[in-house]
Amino acid sequence: MLLDTFLHEKLIELPYQDELKAYIISVCKQHMFVENDLSNQSMTLMFIDACQRNEFSTFQSIADWSFWIAVFKHEFFKKHSIVYNELARASYMQCHFILKKKWPIFEQLATDFPKITGQTRTKLVLSSDNL
């Protein structure tokens, strides 16, 4: 519960609708645990597989993992930012299309991925010194 409170207090002021803020908090919490660690996976191969199978859950996993590392593992992310940005954006957009554009949050995440992750990181006051 402490993690929920911390994230809510820090991210409540993000300039987005409540539904998007709730999703961001969910992503931040979800990837704090080892079972959601995708660091040993090839995101490119996962993306190719998701495209071949049009698989929502894999697209979402790729995008959410990219979001998490952009916020919490920024030094690693910076080294590979072009790849992760594009995979995240393309994956969130695929989620948007698979859901037949009924949940616009995925489109917003796809369109504004660098901006949203940057603002989230700033709100959490994370720097490479304390990661």
Q: What is the pLDDT of residue 80?
A: 67
Contact 123, 14 (CB under 8 A): yes
What are φ and ψ of residue 99, in 5° steps? -85, 10
- Going by pLDDT thresholds of 50, 70 and 90, the confidence category of residue 128 is very low
Q: What is the pLDDT of residue 39?
A: 72
Residue reference for tokens 């949203």: 116
Q: What is the pLDDT of residue 33?
A: 64
Q: What is the pLDDT of residue 76?
A: 62
Single-letter amino acid code for the residue at 48: I
Contact 89, 47 (CB under 8 A): no
Mean local confidence (pLDDT), 109-129: 83
Mean local confidence (pLDDT), 81-102: 94
pTM score, whole prediction: 0.87
Mean local confidence (pLDDT), 83-112: 96
E strand map for the chain: none
- For the chain, give the mean pLDDT: 87
Q: Tens digit of pLDDT for each residue in 44-85? A: 999 999 999 999 999 999 999 999 988 887 676 566 678 889
pLDDT of 96 higher than 80 = yes
User: What are the angstrom distances between the C-alpha of 51 and each of 88, 108, 111?
Assistant: 13, 20, 19
Q: Tens digit of pLDDT for each residue in 12-28? A: 989 999 999 999 999 98
